[in-house]
A and B are shown apart, each in its own frame.
Chain A
Amino acid sequence: MTKPIKHIVIVGGGSAGWLTAAILAAEYQTNDYGLTITLIESPDIASVGVGEGTWPSMRSTLKKIGISETTFLSHCDASFKQGSKFVNWQKPNSQYYHPFTLPINYQEFNLAPHWLKFKEQVSFANAVSFQAQLCERGLAPKQISTAEYSFNANYGYHLDASKFAQLLQQHSTTKLGVVHILDQVQQVHNADNGDIASLSTKHNGIISGDLFIDCTGSAALLIGQHYQIKLREQSQSLANNSALALHLPYPEANSPIASQTTAIAQDNGWIWDIGLQSRRGVGYVYASAYCTDEQAEQTLRTYIEPSIGNQAAASAELRKLSFTPGYREKFWHKNCVAIGMSAGFIEPLEASALALIELSAKMVAEQLPANRTMMDIIAQRFNDKFSERWLQIIDFLKLHYVLSERTDSQYWRDHQQLEHCSKSLQQALALWRYQSPYHYDITQTESLFPSASFQYILYGMGFLSEPQHTPRNNQHISAQQLFKENQQRCQQLTSVLTDNRTLLNKIRQFGLPPI
């Protein structure tokens, strides 16, 4: 039982497998640890290629893996994502932003109560942050002279998931020493203690390992099929379980590239619209309990019509995806960890899929058990932590729906029912009637969403927190100064930043400076 962990076997390529491999291998590459990482990928299974939006955390992840940002942007057809724009969620003809930049001076001062007085003149996001305005103008979050992974305005990425997996594969195998086996896993062999001892492959015989990572997507070959760990279904709270997706060409080679993910609410779900360098990615996420695939298809085709014309919109090829919203009862069982869709999947409303992969792989890398005895303790901690994180994601996504005032379809009426929210969300909503979310609302050390994210959603959706006590006068003065400072910062940035297309073209030509 004190046998050291020497060989990690990852099953499944795709972004989950390769991102996990790269994060693990980067942690130990310069270490004299004697750790081997093998990734087995089936040549017959195409990866789903969803998850085209990232959080800002991807910048530090890529930096740590050792991929240059210039290479990443060009190779993955990637562009900058500065947040999300929600259209028609509160009611028809409404919109708001959830930007990645925190409200100005957020650590020290909560501007939310002070914004109430000005709510008729300025949206919350525009009052406390400059980023929504950068997005509205289609501006990039940095300049050509800004070092790789540094920024003027916080950002993540939009990327081509299959190109991303390719780049990670190339980097992991050539620079980080990951062993790549293209083969089919045919059988899983148990050890006496119930651990996975080895896998039989079609052409490479038996591959044994100390820790197995299941990145096989919704097939969940190890955690699901082998160990029968159940999924905690979340359809009650978040009903979306289907998606239709397609790639849209830009009308011209130099068409503008959007700075944010746009999520446009529809009768029975929402449409995502993201801009890469060479194309857009568009899709409709919907709930099959409320609409048929044909109805959904019609909604999506109607949406793309203005972009590509009636004929092209009618004949465009759509890709259908189905999923069960939910997450495993356990992610780490015996010597097997599930990362990616095998661990769980939920509608991509806040692009949590890649972020969860980064976080899971990071915890495995940093907490890698020294030996088998330690593994059970770490597995328990991992399971506690990620169950908590899934709850946070579900509460946060649910917040986008429960605040809606739309009554135009059964889908929206049902989604506003408080009884389908978790107890924790119900309590928080009751409290937020009188006080805005702030530092006390975040009890975990590594919370997925800062309390500012809750502010952006609540006040973007027209929710009001009306305090019962009047703050001291001098606080109003500080607030005024901060509102003004934010405006100045906004003016300054809009005058120096160029649009995304111009910057991305320059990066292709000159590269970003490394420092």
Chain B
Amino acid sequence: MATNELVNNIAHQHLKVITERSAQYGDNVWYTATFPDEFRSIQGYYPIFFTKDPDTGKFFSAALFGFEQGDNLFLTDNHWDAGYIPLTIQRQPFSIGQQTINDGGTSVEQRVLHIDIDNPRVNTDHGQALFLEYGGNSEYLERMADMLEIIHHGLLDNDTFIEQLISLALLEPFTLDVQLNNGTQHQMIGFYTINEDNLYDLPAETIATLHQQGYLAAIYMTIASQSCIRDLMNRKNSKLGI
């Protein structure tokens, strides 16, 4: 279980974060959340799909790392074998929390930086320090704070993006059938992708709107990212030695 604490230079003065990539630090996940502004970086390495959060039923965009739970095909001995690591992976063990502050008599909700002190990356000996010797923020901590702001706005934008896809009937369920070299098959259900027939039938004005919103590029990058499934299969085959 996570124990999230508001990052502060008193309680957390000596904390360090290990930034190596490894299953023991929780990187053995088979997908992570992403958002349209990140698709450009994602689509060269990972297939992008849409799926529902089982706790809320809400759609999110996902970058796929493997074909089954716990299976991250990019993870090789303390190393993540790709030119780009999605921000929602890089952010660990930080997250955004809400804090109510009193601003001249009115309470205002404000975003604050949280750290999960139970995360196995968190220790006092190894990795990146959060604070400088006299209590100032380290460059690392500043970078993580900026990253979480980007993720926060990116995920909000992703909600709008998906609403738009649904209202234009551009999302369709998709079953990913993967056959490995040794004949074993994986069937992955619960994923959605772009309905290309409906996309090509959209009237010019709608395309123009999507373009202005920045979503047209995101849609095409999603489609293009499907070529990464081949790379995932190759990784799976070679991991199994087949």
Contact = CB atoms under 8 A, between A and B. Distances in A.
A145 interface: yes
A515 B174 CA distance: 12
A512 B58 CA distance: 8
A144 B59 CA distance: 11
A510 B56 CA distance: 6
Contacts of A515: 166, 171, 173, 192
B57 A514 contact: no
Q: How large is the interface on A (under 10, 10 to 19, 20 to 34, 35 or more residues)?
A: 10 to 19
B54 interface: yes
A359 to B, nearest CB: 29
B58 A513 contact: yes
Contact of A511 (B53, B55, B57, B190): B57
A506 interface: yes
B54 A513 contact: no
Contacts of B143: none
Interface in B49-69: 52-59
A367 interface: no
B166 A510 contact: no
Contacts of B53: 145
A510 B58 contact: yes
B166 A144 contact: no
A237 B166 CA distance: 52
Given A513-B52, A515-B171, A146 B166 contact: no
Nearest to B55: A144
A143 interface: yes
A506 B171 contact: no
A145 B57 contact: yes
B168 to A, nearest CB: 12
A510 B57 contact: yes
B166 A514 contact: yes
Contacts of B54: 143-145
B171 A144 contact: no
Contacts of B58: 510, 513
A90 to B, nearest CB: 41
Contacts of B55: 144
A513 B60 CA distance: 11
B169 to A, nearest CB: 8
A510 B53 CA distance: 11
Contacts of B52: 145, 513
Contacts of B56: 144, 506, 509-510
Contacts of A514: 166
A146 B166 CA distance: 15
Nearest to B165: A515
Contacts of A144: 54-57
A145 B55 CA distance: 8
Interface string B186-211: 00001010000000000000000000
A143 B54 CA distance: 8
Nearest to B167: A514
B23 to A, nearest CB: 26
A497 B102 CA distance: 42
A146 B192 CA distance: 13
Contacts of B190: 145
Nearest to B50: A515
Contacts of B173: 515
Contacts of A145: 52-54, 57, 190
A125 to B, nearest CB: 28
Nearest to B169: A515
Nearest to B59: A513
A506 B57 contact: yes
A144 B53 CA distance: 9
A146 B190 CA distance: 10
Nearest to B56: A510
Nearest to A509: B56
Interface in B147-196: 166, 171, 173, 190, 192
A511 B52 CA distance: 12
Contacts of A511: 57
Nearest to A70: B57
A260 B187 CA distance: 34
B220 to A, nearest CB: 21
A510 B159 CA distance: 13
Contacts of B59: 513
B57 A143 contact: yes
Interface in A146-205: 146
A143 B55 CA distance: 9
B171 A146 contact: no
Interface in B35-59: 52-59
B37 to A, nearest CB: 23
A147 to B, nearest CB: 9
B91 to A, nearest CB: 23
Contacts of A513: 52, 57-59
A510 B58 CA distance: 7
Interface string A117-153: 0000000000000000000000000011110000000
16 contacts: A143-B54, A144-B54, A144-B55, A144-B56, A145-B54, A145-B57, A506-B56, A506-B57, A510-B56, A510-B57, A510-B58, A511-B57, A512-B57, A513-B59, A514-B166, A515-B171
Given A506-B57, A510-B57, A513-B58, 8 more contacts: A145-B53, A146-B57, A506-B56, A511-B57, A513-B52, A513-B57, A513-B59, A515-B171
Report, nearest first, the 5 A-B pairs whose CB atoms are least far apart: A144-B57, A145-B52, A145-B57, A510-B56, A513-B57
